[in-house]
Amino acid sequence: MNAEDIIRRFDEAIEKNYIFPEYQPQINHATGRLIGAEALMRWEDPKLGKLYPNQFIPVMEEYDLIYRADIHLFSCVCKFLKKCIDEAIPIVPISVNMSRHDIFNHDYVEAVESIRKAYGVPVEYIRLELTESSVIGGMELVVGVLEQLHAHGYKVEMDDFGSGYSSLNVLKELEVDVIKLDMYFFTGELDKRGGTIITTVVNMAKWLGIPVIAEGVETAEQAEFMKSIGCNYIQGYLYYKPISEPVLIRELRKRDHETAKPAMQLVDTMDAAKFWSPDSLETLIFNHYVGGACIFSYKNGRLELLRVNDKYTQELGMNMSAKQLIDTNPWKLMDEENKEIYLNAINKALDTDDEVVVETWRTLSSDCCGDENICIRSTIRMIGQATDQYLFYAMIQNITAEKRQYMHVLSSEQRFLRAAEQANMYAWEYDIRTKEMRPCFRCMRDLGLPMLVKNYPEPAIEMGIFQPDYADMYRDWHKQLEEGVEHLEAIMPLTVGRVPFHVRYTTEFDENGRPLKAYGSATLVVDEEENKEES
Ligand code: C2E
Ligand code: MG
Ligand code: MG
């Protein structure tokens, strides 16, 4: 394909929409939300095939076709935005590229304005991208166009910032609203020179109060690096390649933009806004000094995960990315019972304005781990509030192993209980330090003991389990346990029926030899006694 083909096919391509936009979404890496998109020119020609900008833009620029192409693309974008308005598709601002040649054309601003008005698209839905190289033709001219665009209410982005052309000077002269930093210009290791330059550019932009979008972000490392220096807006293959209009519509419909950036009020000294600010102390703590933590919003029964730190994904141990987690509806991970438990915890946290601890089972699935049932202990606290929406902070702990072990112990205890039942045995655990006694199920069932008996053995004596003539001896046993006796045993008549039981205690000691717990048991001795008498 050569320049002549392009020139020859150009009119028909415009007329028949062989030239059209694809859209590359821009993402807030901190929340995983789609915040905008860039329209990128594509040419799919029945005769020439599929063409990319690097093949035709230089030719269009050389042969003065670029202005018409850009105006055509601008109309396509307005048409798309109009469709979004008409069909109530959630809208994000769309960035449209302008060539430096467009700027030389005195009609440009008027032309885009009349198209936008014809489609009835509010100006805030459109941004225009200007490249640094535009100033080659003369800074004054560009400053003039920028002023005109601003006068009409357009936001203007500086594309490919850092590509050369004395960037700092350009920034000083041109009052752009957004800077697009192309990672492509900083190939190499980010912890070296490239990283220093990017950090400086981002800091400089922050001093000027200009948001930065990192473009061409392909790896998670690049994204994390940008996040670490306070640049959360990302456009690149890591999240999306340029996509078609129907795919963009599908992505837009997936997201509820109302909850994306909640306008929160403060609760006490906790400043919810600080969690959004990349360089606040809270964010630093969130990312580095706490365990697994997340921020989620709660609105009319809907939960939405807004932000998770690295340790959160590690804690889940499922090899899932923050984005995958954020994209998942948390309710879908829980069954009805666990949902209710979690919902109760949320309501309690709202009622009490205090930290609430809750344990729930969830089923997570990831490509590498498949489906996994995990138990999470969450400590949740409300940190921000808008009219009918709340912001929560949650620290999480994966307690699956602990829970499984507990369940295992529980089932072995049940087995033990069944065996005890067969052996006519009663068992209990006595905590020597706190004087608390935990009876076995049979003790509770047959003797009417509660699950936890405080100040043992007094209540058992009062209940008549230990008869008055044995009470002092039994009290003395507990003194001996305190003093560190290892083993005690005797035959005692128990309960009002004065049934003889073989009562035993075995003591457990800590690593310093101090008595910790004593395990008590009482076995019916009728048969034994009878046997003895017989022999
Ligand atoms: P740009 O405006 O800086 O657009 C970003 C380019 O980077 C796009 O290439 C995009 O597909 C590509 N890109 C995005 N993420 C990644 C990534 O992670 N890795 C890599 N390697 N590339 C990524 P595309 O679509 O080929 O466009 C190239 C250039 O062509 C654009 O650079 C822009 O300067 C120009 N262009 C595109 N559409 C238009 C248009 O409608 N009008 C004008 N005048 N120029 C346009
Ligand atoms: Mg661009
Ligand atoms: Mg760019």
406 and 394 within one domain: no
Angle at the Cα of 232 from the Cα atoms of 169 and 385, rounded to 5 degrees: 125
Task: Specify the residue with its C-alpha closest to ligand 1, atom 37.
Answer: 40
pLDDT of residue 478: 97
The larger pLDDT score, comparing residue 353 to residue 303, is at 303
Per-chain mean pLDDT for the chain:
85
Range in 17-26, 122-131, 220-229, 452-461 with the lowest mean pLDDT: 220-229
Mean pLDDT of 208-231: 84
Q: Give how far Cα 401 sits from Cα of 319, 425, 428, 514, Å.
A: 17, 32, 26, 30
pLDDT of residue 285: 66
Residue 194 and residue 188: Cα distance in Å, rounded? 7
Q: Which residues line ligand 1 (CB under 6 A)?
A: 24, 40-41, 52-54, 57, 66, 70, 73, 97-99, 129, 159-160, 215-218, 236-237, 242
At residue 286 the predicted structure's pLDDT band, cuts being 50, 70 and 90, is low
Range in 237-241, 323-327, 395-399, 452-456 with the lowest mean pLDDT: 323-327
Task: Answer whether residue 491 shows pLDDT above 60.
Answer: yes
Quick one: DSSP state of residue 132? G
**Does residue 260 lie in a domain region?**
no
210 and 159 within one domain: yes
Task: Answer whether residue 223 shows pLDDT above 70.
Answer: yes
CATH at 144: 3.20.20.450
Residue 507 and residue 514: Cα distance in Å, rounded? 10
The larger pLDDT score, comparing residue 42 to residue 306, is at 42
At residue 165 the predicted structure's pLDDT band, cuts being 50, 70 and 90, is low
522 and 379 within one domain: no
**Does residue 261 lie in a domain region?**
no
Mean pLDDT of 478-489: 95
At residue 273 the predicted structure's pLDDT band, cuts being 50, 70 and 90, is low
Residue with tokens 């049934």: 499
Q: Of 172, 188, 171, 189, which Cα lies nearest the Cα of 180?
A: 171
pLDDT of residue 262: 37
- Tokens representing residue 343 in the block: 């919902």
CA 397 to centroid of ligand 3, rounded, Å = 41
The larger pLDDT score, comparing residue 417 to residue 377, is at 377
309 and 173 within one domain: no
Task: Specify the residue with its C-alpha closest to ligand 1, atom 29.
Answer: 53
**Does residue 263 lie in a domain region?**
no
Instruction: Select from 14, 19, 20, 40 the residue to mutate for testing ligand 1; criterion: most ligand atoms less than 8 Å from CB.
Output: 40
- Exposure on the CB side of residue 172, measured as CA atoms within 13 A: 5
At residue 459 the predicted structure's pLDDT band, cuts being 50, 70 and 90, is very high
pLDDT of residue 50: 93
DSSP string computed for 120-155? T--GGGEEEEEEGGGGGG-HHHHHHHHHHHHHHT-E
149 and 89 within one domain: yes
Whether residue 108 contacts residue 98, with contact meaning beta carbons closer than 8 Å, is answered with yes
Domain boundary among 371, 398, 425: 398
At residue 264 the predicted structure's pLDDT band, cuts being 50, 70 and 90, is very low
478 and 457 within one domain: yes
At residue 267 the predicted structure's pLDDT band, cuts being 50, 70 and 90, is very low
388 and 413 within one domain: no
At residue 266 the predicted structure's pLDDT band, cuts being 50, 70 and 90, is very low
For the beta carbon of residue 326, count every other beta carbon within 10 angstroms: 19
284 and 296 within one domain: yes
59 and 186 within one domain: yes
Domain boundary among 220, 255, 290: 255
Q: Residue 15, class by beta-carbon neighbours within 10 Å (0-12 exposed, 13-18 middle, 19+ buried)?
A: exposed
Mean pLDDT of 281-293: 69
Whether residue 218 contacts residue 183, with contact meaning beta carbons closer than 8 Å, is answered with yes
Ligand nearest to the CA of 213: 3
Task: Answer whether residue 325 shows pLDDT above 90.
Answer: no
**Alpha helix stretches (DSSP H) within 484-525:** none
DSSP string computed for 468-481? HHHHHHHHHHHHHH
Residue 64 and residue 335: Cα distance in Å, rounded? 62
**Domain count of the chain?**
3
First to last CA, the chain: 113
111 and 86 within one domain: yes
pLDDT of residue 526: 61
**Does residue 443 lie in a domain region?**
yes
For the beta carbon of residue 488, count every other beta carbon within 10 angstroms: 18
Ligand nearest to the CA of 95: 2
Task: Answer whether residue 43 shows pLDDT above 60.
Answer: yes
Residue type, 147: E
53 and 147 within one domain: yes
Under 8 Å CB-to-CB from 440, ≥6 apart: which residues?
417, 420, 426, 427, 428
The dihedral formed by the CA atoms of 327, 241, 191 and 163, expressed in degrees to the nearest 10: -140
- The residues facing 398 across adjacent strands are 376
Mean pLDDT of 385-409: 81
**Alpha helix stretches (DSSP H) within 153-214:** 167-173, 193-207
- The residues facing 161 across adjacent strands are 181
- Tokens representing residue 401 in the block: 């192993």
Residue 415 and residue 208: Cα distance in Å, rounded? 70
pLDDT of residue 23: 98
Residue type, 299: K
Domain boundary among 229, 255, 281: 255
Task: Answer whether residue 167 shows pLDDT above 70.
Answer: no
CA 387 to centroid of ligand 2, rounded, Å = 38
Residue 507 and residue 499: Cα distance in Å, rounded? 25
CA 94 to centroid of ligand 2, rounded, Å = 11
At residue 296 the predicted structure's pLDDT band, cuts being 50, 70 and 90, is confident
Task: Answer whether residue 324 shows pLDDT above 70.
Answer: yes
pLDDT of residue 268: 38
530 and 459 within one domain: yes
Pairing assessment for the beta strands 155-161 and 126-131 based on DSSP bridges = parallel
**Does residue 503 lie in a domain region?**
yes
Which residues span the domain enclosing 282?
272-398
Task: Answer whether residue 348 shows pLDDT above 50.
Answer: yes
Phi-psi region of 464 (alpha: psi -120 to 50; beta: other; left: phi over 0): left
Pairing assessment for the beta strands 19-28 and 233-235 based on DSSP bridges = antiparallel
Mean pLDDT of 291-305: 84
Residue 362 and residue 117: Cα distance in Å, rounded? 50
At residue 46 the predicted structure's pLDDT band, cuts being 50, 70 and 90, is very high
**Does residue 281 lie in a domain region?**
yes
Task: Answer whether residue 35 shows pLDDT above 50.
Answer: yes
Task: Specify the residue with its C-alpha closest to ligand 1, atom 8.
Answer: 40
CATH at 491: 3.30.450.20
Rounded to the nearest angstrom, the gap between the alpha carbon of residue 67 and the centroid of all alpha carbons in its chain is: 44
Residue 86 and residue 83: Cα distance in Å, rounded? 5
The larger pLDDT score, comparing residue 403 to residue 491, is at 491
